[in-house]
Copies of this chain bind each other. A is one copy, B any other.
Amino acid sequence: MDLEYSDRHKALQQELREFAAKEGHRSPKSGGGRKRPDRKTLDWQALLLERGYFARTIPKEYGGYGAEPDVVEAAIIADEFNKAGLYPGIMNQGISMLVPTLLEVGREDQKKQWVETTIRGETIWCQGYSEPGSGSDLAAARTRADLDGDHFVVNGQKIWTSSAHYADMMFLLCRTEPDKPKHEGLSYLLLSMKTPGIEVRPLTTMTGRAEFNETFFTNVRVPASQIVMGRGEGWRVANVTLKYERMLLGDPNKLLYRLSRIRDLMERTAVDGVRMLDLPEYRERLLKLQGEALAWKYHGMRLLTDMANDVDSGVRRLIVKYVGTMMGHRLSSLAVDVLGAAGLSYDPQGEDKDDDEATTWHIDYMYDIGLIIGGGTSQIQKNIIGERGLGLPREPKTQAAAR
């Protein structure tokens, strides 16, 4: 354990406070991630990249700051941004999922081409994984990509393509080798959403908003060079992406931020003149969640250390998505209860506008269910934890499936 601030850390902290004082006014209020970043957000993002407050450890040649990984630095930055109420930078699927995937398994030219524009917020990506018939059984994807000369020709349908309606690019899992066994017949392609033959239809969820899409492909031509790793290696690449997606879905900072918002809400909300924070039944729930969230915070620091040291976190990492999303739901459940009857109001304003507090919490409360399900349901996560993390035997092949 070594978490003390060195002089360098103290200097960074000081620097951040000066930055907040001097540049803080340039921060956008919130950056979305559900919409294309606006000019103000892009400028802010550029500033963060320049200072190394975002993508701090991504090499300079790919547009990052090129710093050595340092858990405490990361914590200081998150902390100071949090305290000053500054927007910490864009988080979208390209940045959180594709960029680390390319850095891990992409070709040099792919890293050069895509990492910088993506982390600058200029290239927006969407994810082409799930299909209507294969949700949990991702490897059963049936969207075809057949080689025709030096292009793949894509036909099929994807679902849950969240930002497809404004994305520039998609990372797509598709079947290129139909004769090979299920997991060996997939490839991972990068394609422009402007390619002819792509149709995007909005998909409304239980929140009442169209946060997702269905995407249809009809003879969509993708240059064969736009494959990550080789043909038939798509399942391997997809699992790298899933690894980062699942880390993202269990992010402790998000949960801690949520906890502090709930505490504020409990201070502001009263029943019969008594603050909710002073009602022991609610306070006890808040405290239980605080204990969980603190454990989760330090677990996250441990994972960052693993990553910085190239240590395989094993089962520690595999639990992130399952545990984090369930905790998120318990938090939003408490918020919804604190809001109570008066807070049943619900009137989402659409992607580009801010929602009122009650609506925001109810969206979270429902969206959390989507997060529990998406990116591999909790049931799938528990299979993975048990089999890959603990070495428990896979389910034996069934007679039907063996046929």
Q: Is A280 an interface residue (CB 8 A)?
A: yes
Residue of B nearest to A396 (CB): B398
Q: Is A397 an interface residue (CB 8 A)?
A: yes
Q: Is A311 an interface residue (CB 8 A)?
A: no
Q: Is A400 an interface residue (CB 8 A)?
A: yes
A399 to B401, CA, bound (A): 9
Residues of B close to A400: CB separation below 8 A:
396
A68-88: which have CB < 8 Å to B? Answer: none
List 16 interface pairs A-B (beta carbons < 8 Å), by A numbering. A280-B280, A280-B281, A280-B284, A281-B284, A284-B284, A395-B398, A396-B398, A396-B399, A396-B400, A396-B401, A397-B398, A397-B399, A398-B398, A398-B399, A399-B399, A399-B402
Contact with B along A366-403 (1 / 0, CB 8 A): 00000000000000000000000000000111111110
Residues of B close to A396: CB separation below 8 A:
398-401
Give the distance to chain B from A271, nearest Cβ to Cβ, in Å: 15
Residues of B close to A401: CB separation below 8 A:
396
A280 to B395, CA, bound (A): 46
Residue of B nearest to A401 (CB): B396
**Total A residues in contact with B, Cβ cutoff 8 Å:** 11
Residue of B nearest to A288 (CB): B281
Residues of B close to A397: CB separation below 8 A:
398-399
Residues of B close to A402: CB separation below 8 A:
399
With A280-B280, A396-B399 known, 14 other A-B pairs at CB within 8 A are A280-B281, A280-B284, A281-B284, A284-B284, A395-B398, A396-B398, A396-B400, A396-B401, A397-B398, A397-B399, A398-B398, A398-B399, A399-B399, A399-B402
Residues of B close to A284: CB separation below 8 A:
280-281, 284
A395 to B399, CA, bound (A): 11
Residues of B close to A280: CB separation below 8 A:
280-281, 284
Residue among A398, A401, A402 facing the most chain B CB atoms (10 A cut-off): A398
A398 to B280, CA, bound (A): 52
A159 to B90, CA, bound (A): 62
Give the distance to chain B from A252, nearest Cβ to Cβ, in Å: 26
A4-57: which have CB < 8 Å to B? Answer: none
A398 to B399, CA, bound (A): 5
Contact with B along A114-155 (1 / 0, CB 8 A): 000000000000000000000000000000000000000000
A399 to B394, CA, bound (A): 13
A114 to B250, CA, bound (A): 61
A272-288: which have CB < 8 Å to B? Answer: 280-281, 284
A110 to B396, CA, bound (A): 45
A325-342: which have CB < 8 Å to B? Answer: none
Residues of B close to A281: CB separation below 8 A:
280, 284
Residues of B close to A399: CB separation below 8 A:
396-399, 402
